[in-house]
Amino acid sequence: MMHWVWTVLIGFLAGFVAKMITPGKGPSGFIMTAVLGVAGSVAASFIGQRLGWYGAGNTAGFIGSVVGAAVLLLVYHLVTRE
């Protein structure tokens, strides 16, 4: 149970940092910021495992989560043209 709490908290922080470093207006609110960060972490973990940066079962760290969230936010901006 605590794993999910930490995942959401780290995801929120990663999403918040990604929103601060990415230009433009993005989705707002605690829930959307946390979802953005968690999705960025999952994306960074998946890509990192495929590229051999992380072993099976390892997850991306905070920096990888921020990078993943920033990439997702840039894709959001491209799709919505905001």
**Which of 62, 68, 77 lies closest to 23 in space, CA to CA?**
77
For residue 55, give Cα distances in angstroms to 12, 50, 68: 24, 9, 18
What's the pTM value of the predicted model, to 2 decimals?
A: 0.76
CA atoms of 14 and 9, how far apart (whole Å):
9
pLDDT, one tens digit per residue, over 8-59 is: 777 788 888 888 887 777 677 777 777 888 888 888 888 888 888 877 767 7
**Residue 19 near residue 36, CB atoms below 8 Å:** yes
Q: By residue range, what is the domain housing residue 42?
A: 2-80
Count: domains in the chain: 1
